[in-house]
A and B are shown apart, each in its own frame.
Chain A
């Protein structure tokens, strides 16, 4: 369950970036296929980590791009949901390019509560 550790790290990072005083409504995360992150599991872990805290109202939105594969024979590149995928040229030894990113892309913040700021 590395989603739990990722959720904890994410909460720390969000707190570092949030402007003081405003509520954080949503954070956008990108997890490449190498990371083997299950969006459902990360959402659940995020709830567990943030409940009862200043981030309890914040949702996490997880983007999981597909594999990017490259054929060593003809150089063609394509996207695939599976790591094992045969190239149009017949080669079946395509290797993944990148895919190991685990990024906090952005956060959506609300207005200052009335009477402040």
Chain B
């Protein structure tokens, strides 16, 4: 006997993510899921960001890694609320990791939560964490074909950051090719070029973050919807519910 189902395979993760999103909305916390390859500069970007954020924006970080607490230790030097999550064999964060990490944070004292996902351009993308926006971080040393090779990440990211632009003179990277691939996958995507080393573009990135936090605050006050970004549009067709044949 065949039973029709048609349901998202990651439905149970999505349910936990929805609960995370509700908790974060209640605490008026704008949350970013930062994804990128190992070595792209996620932790370096966060260190620079945390040092430059105005004191009025209280930040917290959840950092995911397969093993070690090294990134957490690096970030603790610039942020008081840091939760390190070791995922063991899992190559990305899932909503339940974030749910557990949220228990260790005082959401009433946080305006901005940045989640550094496990370094990986493929696996994290499909797992909703309850974030308000997803950010895809690439770096010029990875090559200009990486947007084209990771269409899901590009399509799902609300903002793309291209880091290490200080190294452009030394590597073969055609910004035009990268930009064209991004535009094809996500026509109105925002792309910010940064160099953590020289500080280039960091003001644009930080202004984007502050803008998201401000939007959340004003929308929250007017009683409107508080989630920014698209949450997660699920392409699940209306389930033909358990039509047993």
Contact = CB atoms under 8 A, between A and B. Distances in A.
Interface of A: 1-2, 4-6, 9-10, 12-13, 16-17, 19, 29, 32, 34-36, 83-84, 93-96, 98, 100-110
A110 B180 CA distance: 51
Contacts of A110: 1
B7 interface: yes
Contact of A12 (B12, B151, B180): B12
Contact of A36 (B5, B11, B152, B155): B152
Interface stretch (B20-28, B55-63, B87-95, B191-199): B87-95
B9 A13 contact: yes
Given A17-B5, A104-B7, A106-B5, A9 B123 contact: no
A95 B155 CA distance: 11
B13 interface: yes
Interface of chain A: mostly helix, strand, loop or mixed? mixed
Contacts, number: 97
20 contacts: A2-B91, A2-B122, A5-B123, A13-B7, A19-B3, A34-B152, A35-B126, A35-B152, A36-B152, A93-B180, A94-B184, A96-B151, A100-B126, A103-B9, A103-B237, A105-B5, A106-B6, A107-B2, A107-B5, A108-B2
Contacts of B1: 108-110
A106 B3 contact: yes
Nearest to B14: A9
Interface residues of B, number: 36
B73 interface: no
A46 B149 CA distance: 26
B4 interface: yes
A30 B2 CA distance: 16
Nearest to B236: A103
Given A2-B126, A104-B8, A110-B1, 9 more contacts: A1-B123, A2-B91, A9-B10, A13-B9, A17-B5, A94-B184, A100-B155, A103-B9, A104-B7
Interface in B122-149: 122-123, 126-127, 148
